[in-house]
Structures are given as C-alpha cells and as structure tokens.
Amino acid sequence: MNVTILYFAWLRERIGLPRETLETEAATVTQLVEELRGREERYALAFADLKAVRVALDQELSDFDAPLAGVREIAFFPPMTGG
C-alpha cells in the first residue's frame, strides 16, 4: 500500500521532512511506526516516546492500533493544547 505521511512540529524537525510517500505492508499504525523506527536513527528518535505523539488517519484523530487498510494519509504530531 502506498501512503503519504505528514510530520508536524518537533517530529518534522527530528526527521527532517514535512512529508513523504512510502510503500508499506504495515497493517496498523503501530506496525508502521516500527517500520519507520527501523529505517534510520532519526525516525527512532522521533518515535522513541509514543506517549508524546498523536496520529490522524485521513485527517481524523486515531489510535496507534488502528488499521491502515484504505488509508491514504497519515499525520503524526505532538499533543495539542487548548487555552
């Protein structure tokens, strides 16, 4: 499956990319994160603490155990704060 991955805030800074297109066989967000961590050190550092990362699938907030079937866009970002 071919997906577009978007990185925001400090995730973008650590990885060094705002977005990328990736071919993956991952079935869930967690599997995709494991695949990314294995690519390079910068990904391992960015995804070292998943408690500090949120995910949206096709612009809808989701969980890391969510399936990726049919998903075209995955966004990773830090938790949002209100005020």
pLDDT for 31 beyond 80: yes
Give 4's strand partners: 21, 73
Task: State what percent of residues in the chain have pLDDT above 70.
Answer: 96
Q: What is the pLDDT of residues 43-74, one digit of tens each?
A: 999 999 999 999 999 999 999 999 999 999 99
Band of residue 6 on the pLDDT scale cut at 50, 70, 90: very high
pTM: 0.94
Task: Work out the average pLDDT over 1-13.
Answer: 97
Give, in order, the Cα–Cα distances in Å from 15 to each of 12, 45, 69: 5, 8, 25
Q: In a 3-state reduction of DSSP, which class is residue 58?
A: coil
